[in-house]
Structure 1
Amino acid sequence: MHFLRTFLFHALVAIAASSVPLSAASAADNLAVVTARVPCATLLATAIEDIGGSGSRITRASEAADRQGITSCIVEGTLAPSIGFRIALPTRTWTQRYLQIGCGGLCGNIAGMVGAADGCVPLNAGGFVQGATDMGHQGMSGDFGRDAQKRIDFAYRAQHLTAVLARKLIRAYYGQPQAYAYFTGCSDGGREALIAAQRYPEDFDGIIAGAAAMSFTTQNGLYHAWQARSNTGPDGKAILVASRLPLLHKAVLDQCDALDGQKDGLISEPRNCHFDPASIQCAAGQTDTSACLSAQEADAVRKFYAGPIDAETGVKLTLGGPLPGSELNWAGVFVPMSADQSFASTMIAESAMPVLYDNSLPQIAKVADVRFNADTFKRLAGVHALYDATNPDLSRFVQAGRKLILWHGLGDPHISPLTTIAYHEALQQRFGDAALQSFERLYLLPGVAHCSGGEGPSQIDLLTPMLEWVEQGKAPGAIIASQADPAKANSFGQPGSPTGSGPDAGPPRGMNPPPAMAAVSGVKSPVQSRPVFPYPQLPRYSGKGDANQASSQIAGPAQYLGSTPAWIGSNYFTPDSYR
């Protein structure tokens, strides 16, 4: 029976993949343009206390042009107590769609760019009203976590109220409601996307969730602390530094690059790669370590891959660490450029501590204070139902006809792709293969780092396939991923239409590795474009043309049919943990 279910699932994936051309440019631009019915300034008087409560108000309603020259009515203000929002309503180009943009890290600023939408024609033509929120606080500090209301606003309230507000402003400005609403976000924006699907399925017709920090509690409370501690020697300095990563990465590729049938500098199915850093460990007493890892370095690498583990019981405290093939992307995250530098992982973990822990108990304020055991996990479990977005019960979402696209870079050093795969598996178990095909797709991008960048092609358009799925009933198949042009990409590596500009438009500090690592590695992938098929299907070379171009790749079979490993929080991916 299991074999039959697996066969049928793969057959359905193959059919879906072949039903859509390998193109990111087939725009679902079939809705009439609607122009503004009232002057922009009149929106300043719109009452919004019915949405956010006493003290909610609009502080700005004025026209401005974005970088593409699209003029919009920019509406800004506050939903009580302190949720900042920004809604951009095109004056003459609106095609009856609304797009809400998630923000990364601990948020604290208005998201400025739409990711995973490269080449989306309706977006670039100003066809969307766009909205975003700072999630109820300003700045990257986690100090807001000491306020119970701000915790709720960050967890789920801010994005929901922003969606409600956008609907009201759209009606007021255009004299009619939107035809369709969408949400897209990566990192914590991916968590926000899944929160919307799980808690507020009425808000959006289509949701795109990238590299979602869906297991927020363990991700920020254990994963980053473990990565930083694993790379800290007795002298308090880093054990492994960035200059050593090309050596490690090359060894991983030498062993595993060809496992997917193509030797191209990318590992398409890293779960089949069982690399042991002992294979490049220096011999005892060896003084020249330029071509090998010291025993201490190899041990740190081993711990990175494994992720947090309870030393006493051997139980996994998260799903795991970064996957083989991601090594260059560790630079600047938990592997600093020099031994004396601090870790971004330390900053991430310590910033989140006020958000995660019960303020009535003794505080865990430093990475050095974290104990990797079941007691710490249980303490974090107190806010699991508040922040996490791993509930697979999307019954209301499915009944409403909504659509969900999940995506993740397989070279992500911040959030293990195993988390997204585990959520897909939980949905599969909850709904069954056939029903899952009706509303969800998962795309995994080889070599791609956190939300963008890395060695693999990271420039993608998932928004156009989502429009076609929601509005035309055309289920997405393969998408094309291309190498990004650094000169044209924003800080998440994705061109797009901004709702804002300036320093607050990018992701939080430390969210992406230094771009120089790929350049100095000597093993950068030559792949220029590649089709990415719905999971678990992989591409393979057709035998004709340039293997580094998408046009020479066709659908191949899945190569890994296992499931994600058991860990202490496996029940988190069930509805029961939210009751």
Structure 2
Amino acid sequence: MNLEEKSVGGSQSHPPEPVKVPSAPDGGALAWLHVFFGHMVFFNTLGMTNSYGVFEQYYTETLGHSPSNVAWIGGIQFFLLFGTGVVSGRATDAGYFRDHFFGIFLTQAVCFGLGSGLVFTPGISVTSSYFKHRRTLAMGIVAAGGATGGMVYPAVTSTLLSNSHVGFGGTMRVLGLIMLVTHIPSVIGYRPYVPPHPAPLIDWSAFREKSFLFFTASMSFTFWGLYMAFFYLGTFAREKIALTGSLNLVIVLNGVGVIGRMVPNLIAHRFIGTNNMNIFCNIVCFVCIYCWMAVRNAPGLYVWTVIYGIFAGAAQALFPTMATHQTTDPQKVGTRTGMVFTVVSFFCLTAPAIEGVLIEIDGNQYTGAQAFAGTSVALGVVFLVLNHDLTYHLPGHIFTICLRLYSRCDGEEYICLDLYGRATIPKDLGDSAPGGCKKCRQDTVDLFTPYIDHYPVGKRIIPPLMFLNGSNILAGCWLYMLAFARADYCSPSYLSSTISIPENGVIESISASTVTNYTYSSSQSIDFCNVTVTYTHPGWNDTIHITLWLPPRSNWNGRFQGTGGGGWAGDSGVGPLAEGVASGYSTAETDTGHDPDLTTSTSWYLTAEGKLNIPLFEDYASIAYNDLAVVGKLLSKKYYGKEPVYSYWNGCSTGGRQGLVLAQNYPTAFNGIYAGSPAINFPQLSVAVYWPQFAMNSLNHYPPSCVLDYFTDAVTAACDDLDGVKDGVIAALPLCHFDAYTLVNRTVICNGTSITITEQDAEIVYKSWQGARRPDGSFLWYGVNPGSNLNVDTGTTCTGSVTNCTGSPFPIGPDWIQHWVLDDPDFDIMSMTWSQYSEIFAKSVSEYESIIGSNNPDLSAFKNAGGKIVHWHGSADYLIPTGGSINYYRRVLAIDPNVADFYRFFLAPGVGHCGGGNGAVPTNPFEAVVSWVENNTVPVVLPASNANSTRNLCLYPLVSVYNGGDTSLASSFSCQPHW
């Protein structure tokens, strides 16, 4: 049977008999028992829904969904909670409440929102039917259930979700059990006081009543913004002020609502009327929401939560109370209440998603969403004000009317004041006048008169605030928005509040300034917040600077990027910073505590006492990079209001070593690491880089660069086509067995001078390719590969003639040996013997391997953290021999045969140090890391190119084999185990 059929009750030939409505008992055990039932309905419906902030935080943190997507879950809960009211409210009036309550209860276990909606509105209308004069008080107690439930459910939910033995499924079962137990009394005892009666599903006459329309519009706008805090307070606390106990805020927000649901109802009931109290509470609410924009710390947020929780709780409690007053006919209470709730439900459906989208498009700032919520509640106030009788606009008018009625009521027995403070003279009350009506000629009116809220007759009363017209309220909204929306986030005072430095670091200063129209390239300029953090580690006598460039919120891609340095420099200048910002990253670099000279440590290798500056060296070796990661992510979170979703390292050479040492020593610092041509095995490398110079010093022979180039050209010509392709690149290095001594006695023309290649020339080239050796010929370290530029490690400088040359070493070699290994800047490195060289090599490794070796092959912690590494090295690297990278990767592989699951190494044939050379250079290895981390796009090959061709770099130890076709296209090659 449908609702309409039950309403007409069978025959339609005769109009139905009017249903006699009994007077509400307005008290007694059964009536107050129904108040308890209603309280538990609110406990399980609105209390649970008000707790959605816990789920919002859980879904965004654990499942990684965006706030706008997750918000639809809570929005639909509210939509179904309120939206089913038009059906459930009408069904209650028609007598369906008792028959289907238990079925409705079972339904809510399947679909909480729908089940709650089918229980919520009937719970209001049934409870209110037992009261008339005390309805406001009773409904305040009922509404307090939303607060008690809002305390219990967040605490239980958070506790259980954090317990790995319970999990999400177990949590839901426990919550369902709580609802089952607490609903049993209501299921057994709930009975509507008003008998069933015929009526349409919708009372269309309500839409012709100004007060009903204004009230419905008011509540729609109010609840469009009111619930933002219940959804987003937890995430705001965690993201904006790094508050770890954000759950407590949700409990406090709901807990103080007990006060808000009880005390304002009582005050409204006894003194100023429900509508006036609602106006006052909603004004406080929208002002609070705008003030929320200015909250910057945990104590302030707790104070704000208490104030807002009280008045938001009052607004929620007064809503159903006023909804039941939208008709004087008790038989229409359920219908009218359900109609209001249904309209409001559509606003509740969209509000969380709109606010979530506003947060996202504002770079995870909450200002836009807060402005939306505050303005919505303000509009609700406008319609509440309009809901007053327009004849009572200004202070004193109600007093005048009441006094006039008081003096003219000689022929009437009673004078009454209604919900809105309007004085009326009722007819035929006799001795059955309600408590809100008093006999004429009485000087006072009882202040405690349930149901009919009133003002004392014959005394000056509080006006209904109609002077707060809509234009003034909206103007105030925009003033609040302008006051708080322009907060200077790019300022030291704002950014400094959340920074902490590892290793007990202490901040010395922070600078921050907005930079606009910075020229990044000829066709692009960028804007950013330029932040510099200066700090020290107490007792280390270091002063380190971290520079962070933050793109505008609208341009931020949600990621943080750390960039590396080169040589002795911890950073690479502003270029990588600008490139990162142009790509949407918040980007940081560190000077590691010393000047940015690439080639010498003279200015900082000693302390003020003349001792080796080991603490500062440790900063350079590893510590400063973790500091950068911590500070960069904290500042990004503070500036954008949200922690970076992903963090990446981007570096080559020293930067590549920095990336690998982060994976080894700080496995959770970055999600992905790009390491190009890394200067790992630093103690070995820094001595080995001087090996060619030592060879020349030993022979006292320094070939000019043109001779060295002749050897490079010769070996390239001999070994170029071993891979089947003539492209000026030695790709098949293992097959290249070129003998440098075959070039002895060849003639080379250098700047017009004819030079004959000698055995000494060949020996120097041979030793450069061979790498450092002990006096007995045993291996110390790798040399550069044949085909590499020999004019760096084996560099010479000629004066006047190509036959008058001296050694020109790469500066880090002698700097390392004299300063760090020997602590003797006056050591005569030119006269060093082979035995001394071997001893220096051994001392370098023994003293510094643990500090800066950067070659720990155990990456299990980084792997377990979900990290990914892309590492490539050019086979023609003239500064850092490829052998070091190959050796390291093989050692990692020996520990973990599945290393390719998280760490991929690629050789780039013919490519020099971090680029250059005749080979194909990786086009965007950094983006390969990003795609691997975020999309699980495993880099099977690494796309590369040069001016004339494209290639796919193969995962080591695979090699690129020519299959036929155009040799300039990568598609003509495939990765195979061997040539």
TM-score higher than 0.5 here? Answer: yes
> Normalised by the size of structure 1, how large is the TM-score?
0.74
Which of residues 598, 622, 626 is equivalent to 1:156? 622
Alignment of 1:105-504 (within 5 A): 105-107=567-569, 109-114=571-576, 125-140=582-597, 141-143=600-602, 144-145=604-605, 146-220=612-686, 222-232=687-697, 239-282=702-745, 293-311=757-775, 313-318=776-781, 320-326=782-788, 329-336=789-796, 338=798, 343=807, 345-353=809-817, 356-357=820-821, 359=823, 364=827, 366=829, 368-369=831-832, 371=834, 374-380=838-844, 381-432=846-897, 435-483=898-946
> Normalised by the size of structure 2, how large is the TM-score?
0.45
CA contact (8 A) 1:142 1:354 kept: no
User: In structure 2, do the counterparts of structure 1 residues 33 and 438 end up closer, same or farther at CA, with 3 Å as the change threshold?
Assistant: farther
CA contact (8 A) 1:322 1:411 kept: yes
How far apart, CA to CA, are the structure 2 residues paired with 1:132 and 1:98? 11
CA contact (8 A) 1:33 1:93 kept: no
Aligned to 1:554: 974
Q: In structure 1, what residue type is equivalent to 2:723?
A: D
| Structure 1: 5+ residue stretches without partners | 1-31, 485-526, 560-579
SS at match of 1:309: coil
Q: In structure 2, what residue type is equivalent to 1:305?
A: W
Q: After superposition, what is the alpha-carbon deviation per residue over 1:255-292, rounded to whole angstroms, capped at 9, x for unaligned?
A: 211222222211113132121111111189xxx99586
Shift of 1:370: 6.6
User: In structure 2, do the counterparts of structure 1 residues 334 and 537 end up closer, same or farther at CA, with 3 Å as the change threshold?
Assistant: same
Q: In structure 1, what residue type is equivalent to 2:718?
A: Q
Aligned Cα root-mean-square deviation (Å): 2.9
Q: In structure 2, what residue type is equivalent to 1:475?
A: V
Shift of 1:379: 1.2
Shift of 1:464: 1.6
How far apart, CA to CA, are the structure 1 residues paired with 2:762 and 2:842? 31
| Structure 2: 5+ residue stretches without partners | 1-359, 366-486, 537-541, 606-611
How far apart, CA to CA, are the structure 1 residues paired with 2:586 and 2:971? 34
Q: Flag the structure with more relative contact order, 1 or 2, with Cα contacts below 8 A and sequence separation at least 6.
A: 1
How far apart, CA to CA, are the structure 2 residues paired with 1:155 and 1:342? 32
SS at match of 2:809: helix
Q: After superposition, what is the alpha-carbon deviation per residue over 1:400-455, rounded to whole angstroms, capped at 9, x for unaligned?
A: 111111110110111110110111100110001xx212101111111111111112
SS at match of 1:41: coil
Aligned pair count reads 467
Determine if the alignment matches structure 1 residue 529 to structure 2 residue 857: no
How far apart, CA to CA, are the structure 2 residues paired with 1:403 and 1:342? 45
CA contact (8 A) 2:696 2:807 kept: no
CA contact (8 A) 1:160 1:200 kept: yes
Shift of 1:39: 2.8
CA contact (8 A) 1:89 1:129 kept: yes
CA contact (8 A) 1:217 1:387 kept: yes
How far apart, CA to CA, are the structure 1 residues paired with 2:769 and 2:514? 50
SS at match of 2:729: coil
How far apart, CA to CA, are the structure 2 residues paired with 1:232 and 1:477? 45
Shift of 1:183: 0.4
User: In structure 2, do the counterparts of structure 1 residues 199 and 129 end up closer, same or farther at CA, with 3 Å as the change threshold?
Assistant: same
Aligned to 2:470: none
> Which deviates the most, 37-46 or 200-209?
37-46
How far apart, CA to CA, are the structure 1 residues paired with 2:621 and 2:490? 32
Shift of 1:385: 0.8
> Which deviates the most, 138-147 or 207-216?
138-147
Which of residues 90, 115, 124 is equivalent to 2:551? 90
> Which deviates the most, 417-426 or 534-543?
534-543
SS at match of 1:450: coil
Aligned to 2:508: 56
Shift of 1:55: 4.7
SS at match of 1:245: helix
User: In structure 2, do the counterparts of structure 1 residues 368 and 162 end up closer, same or farther at CA, with 3 Å as the change threshold?
Assistant: farther
User: In structure 2, do the counterparts of structure 1 residues 50 and 107 end up closer, same or farther at CA, with 3 Å as the change threshold?
Assistant: closer
Q: After superposition, what is the alpha-carbon deviation per residue over 1:488-535, rounded to whole angstroms, capped at 9, x for unaligned?
A: xxxxxxxxxxxxxxxxxxxxxxxxxxxxxxxxxxxxxxx522221211
SS at match of 1:85: strand
Larger Cα-atom Rg: 2
Percent identity, please: 28
CA contact (8 A) 1:243 1:337 kept: no
CA contact (8 A) 2:364 2:642 kept: no
Aligned to 2:963: 542
More helix by share: 2
Which of residues 550, 562, 565 is equivalent to 1:103? 565
Shift of 1:189: 1.1
